[in-house]
Structure 1
Amino acid sequence: MTMPEQKKAVVPRLRFPEFRNAGPWEVKRLGDMCDMQAGSFIKASEIRLVPEAGLNPCYGGNGLRGYTKSFTHIGRFPLIGRQGAYSGNVQLAQGRFHATEHAVVVTPKQSTNIDFLFFLLIRGELSRLATGQAQPGLSVASLNSVSIPFPALPEQQKIADCLSSLDELIELQAKKLEALKAHKKGLMQQLFPREGETTPRLRFPEFRDAGPWEVKRLGEVACEFSDGDWIESKDQSPDGIRLIQTGNIGLGKFIDNTEKARFISEETFERLSCSEVFPGDLLISRLPDPAGRCCLIPNIGKRMITAVDCTIVRFDLKQAHPYFCLSYCQTDQYFKEVAARSAGSTRTRISRQNLADVRVPLPTLPEQQKIADCLSSLDELIELQAKKLEALKAHKKGLMQQLFPQEIDL
């Protein structure tokens, strides 16, 4: 926004009742509302990755870099990333900390609420002000000259309180999600045998006397164990049979990037003699990151194939329960073995044959079913909590678009 635009009435679309007749926000130079100064250089050798007594947080342009003995500030300050891919990134630092030269420390003046300013800077999407192509950057001078609308201090406080409360709720829900994930990980460590052992530490009562588990090769418990197809750009079409790519395979979950979906026609499927993927198949990415990650394929309402760097595993249901095997293929023990069987100096990958030789510990089918039911119930809780968290983040984003004027877009 340029300075001549100050005469235009600037008001947000959503306003708290007590401020609806308070008049328009006033457009001011950012440099008139706060002081901005880049942090201080620190040697990489002086930064520790793990917190220790006597060390202070060290912030760069992209957030926390580590911990160091020195400090540049005490208090609560918004920080703006000023160099590289994270130019314009905004974070809030508090307490005693060291800000590096890649971060601009923002000190509000008397008529500016620090939390309001923090949210205002986020809403302003300062990255759009970065200059330079190879190494984009933001200068303090360019930030000072930005014109941005401000309300009176009481309205700033009201907006800051509202958004800070939402942030607290988001943080609480994020902690709940992490606690669920940690609980699942700890439970899996108990439900599957340790490396070199054949019985788990935790067993459901009805299986405590069922004897040791059997160890089999992954390829041994599948009735189909094959790679996907080599599909070139010229083979693709606007619609038809869905091509499942490595990017669709997450850590135990299917990532349906519909906007990046690729397809081939029925004719191409026949011409290339493609291998069809069916709902319930396990797809394993043989490429990082990490190699060996996998997911069970849901019913997406279309026929499917997959890329050549994915392995299709269709389990022999008389030997192996798909969800049980999916769960095992998320353990540290599984990924450790995949890494040991992988090759490549710059980009490691695992061959289909080596993947087939990965060992899978198997109890009887009833016990597999019991473990699968337990872990799938936990996964449902985790998914529900993740959706709740995303909904809160979306609500906050929408609220910020309403609480700040459209004219804040720089």
Structure 2
Amino acid sequence: MRFPEFDEEWEEKTLGEICEMQAGKFVSASEIKEQHFDGLFPCYGGNGLRGYTKSYNYDGKYSLIGRQGALCGNVNFANGKFHATEHAVVVTPLNGINTVWMFYLLTNLNLNQFATGMAQPGLSVQNLEKVESTIPKAIDEQEKIASFLTLIDGRISTQNKIIKELELLIKSISQIIFHGHRYKFKKASLGSICTIKKGEQINSSVLSESGLYAVMNGGITPSGYYSQYNCVGNTISISEGGNSCGYVQFNDKKFWSGGHCYTLSEINAEISNKYLYYFMKFSENLIMSLRVGSGLPNIQKKDLEKFNVAFPEINQQYQISKFLDLLTEKIQVEKSLKTSLIRQKQYVLKKMFI
């Protein structure tokens, strides 16, 4: 795929022939802050943005390649003053190479495939310089490709903002609903209004990357897929163990509940299933605070059973659920659009780089 005004052959070059690469400088972890404040600059490491620090060692537009760890080969774009640590390779294009086009080229090369080492994968500047690629001879063509891909990225960025604003909106409205004074709430322990059941662990060797039924375990995404299910659709699940324990999810399709997953069933007739989900989702941080253990944190069933649920009369629960459903569906539509845009970008990347 090329723009019609360009027909000149691309030429084969190694990365070392079209750019200079240099690892950044060490900065102590104690000097890196999680939040941005005036006087601090972005700090990039092997996995992208690490935080913010008082010093900077680069000023301008640069591609950054992570060179250490499981995510080595990831590519970020920095603009302005920033600090690159020793685990980030800073890329400076040579004359005749567009900076933004260079970023998209590096993104398309899937540099992680050139990593060496098992326990701690890494990329050396020497190996990166040997990676072969093809480049347009005309910088005008590079600039046009870069501009086109930048437009797509801009649209994806806008989509991210739309999704973030909608998620903030649903949180704010949930705060008003569940902590406001509009409704008269009753309270009951979770264990008194439903049955909390722990799932059944299955061997990872029988799971596939795709299939009929998702297997939910301790994470926020499926562990894999299985040919059988042990839970029907419209079931609330709560992650039991792992770093995401306490994560609340509404499963609208049949699925397999694994050994690190709780499900809620036999819900009291006074409680709407969907209302209970929205209340539990709103209370997710409180549920996560129930976790115990450090190596592999988990939430005990007895503690979850004691968790207090507040609920108004059933018709009001239906009204609340219907309203929050509308917002949730809107978020899903926007997320689907974002996924479509990302796929379009990936397609264009593959087609525009020979």
By the TM > 0.5 criterion, same fold? yes
The letter for the 1-side match of 2:44 is: Y
Aligned positions of 1:16-55 closer than 5 A:
16-19=3-6, 22-55=7-40
CA drift at 1:183:
0.7
In structure 1, the partner of 2:306 is 357
Confirm or deny that 1:344 pairs with 2:316: no
Supply the distance in 1 between the matched residues of 2:344 and 2:330 (Cα, whole angstroms).
21
* Counterpart Cα distance in 2 of 1:63 and 1:42: 15
The aligned residue for residue 233 of structure 2 is: 279
Aligned equivalent of 2:352: 403
- The residue that corresponds to 1:220 in the other structure is 192
- Displacement of 1:23: 2.7
Map Cα deviations across residues 39-97 of structure 1 (whole Å, 9 max, x no partner): 11112222222212211111112111111121111110111111222221111111011
1:155 to 141, 145, 150: 141
Cα distance change of structure 1 residues 311 and 74 upon mapping to structure 2, 3 Å threshold: closer
Q: Is the 8 A contact 1:47 1:68 kept in 2?
A: yes
The alpha-carbon distance between structure 1 residues 376 and 237, as it changes in their structure 2 partners (threshold 3 A), is: closer
- Give the residue type in structure 1 aligned to 2:37: E
Q: Matches of 1:28 and 1:241 in 2, distance apart?
A: 46
Larger Rg: 1
Per-residue CA distance 1:191-217 (angstroms, 9 max, x = gap): 102xxxxxx24x3xxx6xxxx310011
Over aligned residues, Cα RMSD in angstroms?
Answer: 2.5
2:54 matched to 1:90?
no
The answer as to 2:94 corresponding to 1:109 is: yes
Following superposition, the deviation at residue 140 of structure 1 comes to: 1.6
Q: Distance in 2 between matches of 1:190 and 1:375?
A: 12
Q: Where does residue 289 of structure 1 map in the other structure?
A: 243
**3-state SS of paired residue (2:91):** strand
Tell me the secondary structure at the aligned position of residue 241 of structure 2: coil
- For the residue of structure 2 that corresponds to 1:323, the secondary structure is helix
After TM superposition, the runs of 4+ consecutive aligned structure 1 residues lying more than 4 A away are 230-234, 240-243
Query: Would the aligned equivalents of 1:338 and 1:358 in 2 still touch at CA under 8 Å?
Result: no
CA contact (8 A) 2:212 2:225 kept: no
Q: Partner of 1:298 in structure 2?
A: 252
SS in 2 for 1:183: helix
Distance 1:80 1:44 in 2: 20
Give the residue type in structure 2 aligned to 1:262. Answer: Y
Retained in 1: the 8 A contact 2:287–2:304? no
Report the AA paired with residue 178 of structure 2: F
Single out whichever of 374-383 and 124-133 deviates more from structure 2. 124-133
TM-score for both structures, normalised by structure 2: 0.91
Contact 2:64–2:77 (CA<8 Å) still a contact in 1? yes
**Which structure has more RCO (C-alpha within 8 Å, separation ≥ 6)?**
1
Structure 2 counterpart SS, 1:378: helix
Counterpart in 2 of 1:269?
Answer: none
Question: Where do residues 7-406 of structure 1 align in structure 2 (5 Å cutoff)?
Answer: 14-19=1-6, 22-151=7-136, 152-193=138-179, 200-201=180-181, 203=182, 212-222=184-194, 224-229=195-200, 231=202, 244-246=215-217, 250=220, 255=221, 260-263=224-227, 276-300=230-254, 306-316=257-267, 318-331=269-282, 333-337=283-287, 339-340=289-290, 342-405=291-354
Asked if 1 retains the 8 angstrom alpha-carbon contact of 2:207 and 2:225, the reply is no
Structure 1 residues 155, 317: closer, same or farther in 2, change over 3 A?
A: same
Is the contact between residue 199 and residue 258 of structure 2 (CA under 8 Å) also seen in structure 1?
A: yes
What CA distance in whole angstroms lies between the structure 2 residues aligned with 1:118 and 1:237? 37
2:294 & 2:227 partners in 1: Cα distance? Answer: 32
Q: How far apart are residue 261 of structure 1 and its match?
A: 1.4
Does the 8 A contact of 1:51 with 1:66 survive in 2? yes
Local SS of the residue matching 2:146: helix
**What letter corresponds to residue 68 of structure 2 in structure 1?**
Q
Are the structure 2 counterparts of residues 398 and 278 from structure 1 closer, same or farther at C-alpha, using a change threshold of 3 Å?
A: same
What is the rounded CA distance, in whole Å, between the counterparts of 2:18 and 2:169 in structure 1? 46
| Deviation (angstroms), 1:232 | 5.5
Cα deviation digits, residues 212-232 of structure 1 (max 9, x gap) = 31001112222x443333555
Secondary structure of 2:155's counterpart equals helix
In the alignment, structure 2 segments of 5+ residues that lack a partner are none
Q: Are residues 163 and 261 of structure 1, via their aligned partners in 2, closer, same or farther at CA, if it must alter by over 3 Å?
A: same
Per the alignment, do residues 42 and 16 of structure 1 end up closer, same or farther by CA in structure 2, a change over 3 Å counting?
Answer: same
| Change over 3 Å in CA distance of 1:344–1:145 after alignment to 2 | closer
Question: Structure 1's 154 and 43: CA in aligned 2 closer, same or farther, altered over 3 A?
Answer: same
| Structure 2 CA distance for partners of 1:105 and 1:336, relative to 1, 3 Å | same
The normalised TM-score by structure 1 is 0.79
Q: Residues 128, 324 of structure 1: CA spacing in aligned structure 2 closer, same or farther, 3 A cutoff?
A: same
Alignment: residue pair count: 352
Shift of 1:136: 2.0
Q: Where does the alignment leave 5 or more consecutive residues of structure 1 unmatched?
A: 1-13, 194-199, 266-275, 406-410
Alignment partners' CA distance in 2, 1:167 and 1:176: 14
**Do 1:315 and 1:322's aligned partners in 2 also have CA atoms closer than 8 Å?**
no
